[in-house]
Structure formats: C-alpha cells, structure tokens
Amino acid sequence: MLLSLSRSVAPVETPITLAEAKAHLRVDWDDSDDYITALIDAAVARMDGWSGVLGRCMVNQSWTLTFDSLSQQLYLPFPVNSITSVKYYDVDNSEQTINASNYELVTTLTRPYINFTSTYSIPVQYDYRTDRASVIVVAGYGAAASDVPASIKHAMKMLVAHWYEHRESVIMTSSSVLPQGFDAIIEPHRRSFLL
C-alpha cells in the first residue's frame, strides 16, 4: 500500500514562460513581471503533480513514493516515464536496492504499476517499520516545456489571465468562475484512475 509521496526533484522549467504569459495577456511592460511570474507559479501548483487538477506531472520531475511493503505489483498514483530505483529494508533493517532487471514499468489505461519478474522472489522485509519500501520515479511529458501538450499550456495561460484580470477572491458576477473552456481543455489530460 502506498503510504506517502513527495517531489524530490523539481522540474527545471515551467510549462509556460513569462514571455508567453505576457503575450497572452497583451502586456508589453515590465512593471508586472513579478506578479505575472507569481501567477504562473500558482497555475503550475493548481495543475501539476499528484495533487494538481491534472493529477499528473507536466515537465519531468522526480517523486519518492513510500510503500508499507514490497509486493508482486506496486501500483503508482500517476503516469510515470521511468523508474529510478526500487529499495526496501531487509530483515536487518538495512536498505537494499533491487536490480532494475528484476522489474518492469507497466503502463495501462487504468493504472501504471511496477511488476516484478516471475524469476524474482520478493525478499523478506524488516518487521518493525511501516515504510519498508520506496520507489523513485520520473514523471512528466518530457524534460522541456515544449514537451507539454499545447492545450495544457493554453489552459494555463487562460488561468493566469483570469487571475490577472480578477484579483479579488470573490466577484459577484458570472466571471467569478474559471474561464469558459478551461475544464474542457484539460479534461483529456486528467489522470483517469483513482488510488
């Protein structure tokens, strides 16, 4: 069972740049650069990673997943590109790294998982800890912002523009909701499985 997850290496760039956001906003002055950058960061936080509305990562990043134990399949909470390492605590409470030849990443429409080969015997693990296994994964559409689908980047620009134009927490008009089409644009990219 998955116990916890945390991002261990952040992406090297945001899916949209300050220049792209300013072009979308039709802002050609520099006085608002810090504010627009903060809005980009807020849009990334709203959309990216396991807890974002997409339920998946945009630009490649590393996550550490902690499990209560090893089992034949370790189910992952979001789509991943690769497995960096799989580790466990042996009967002596020493951390061991499993050779990558003993497992594979299986990507399905329902849920990705790590599958151990039929020739690999799941080792006995230390009894007196709950975090007996950990996995480090790389997740995202690719290493660069250019790998993120254009529709996601457009949705981010819409979100930044909405927040730029509506700076109050509540506006008593129909414009207080997210821009029309935001959900429709991101829906095909949302994680399609549950924990």
Q: What topology is assigned to 2-57+143-189 in CATH?
A: Hypothetical protein yqbg (1.10.3230)
d(C-alpha 6, C-alpha 125), whole Å: 23
- Kindly tell me the burial class for residue 77, based on how many C-beta atoms sit within 10 Å of its own C-beta (0-12, 13-18, 19 or more): buried
pLDDT tens sequence across 6-55: 999 999 999 999 999 999 999 999 999 999 999 999 999 999 998 899 99
And the tokens for 60? Answer: 């490649």
CATH 1.10.3230.30 residue spans of the chain: 2-57+143-189
Q: Please report the sign of the dihedral spanned by the C-alpha atoms of residue 77, residue 82, residue 85, residue 87.
A: positive
- pLDDT of 195 strictly over 50: no
pTM of the full structure: 0.85
d(C-alpha 126, C-alpha 95), whole Å: 10
Which residues, 6+ apart, have CB-to-CB distance to 167 below 8 Å?
A: none
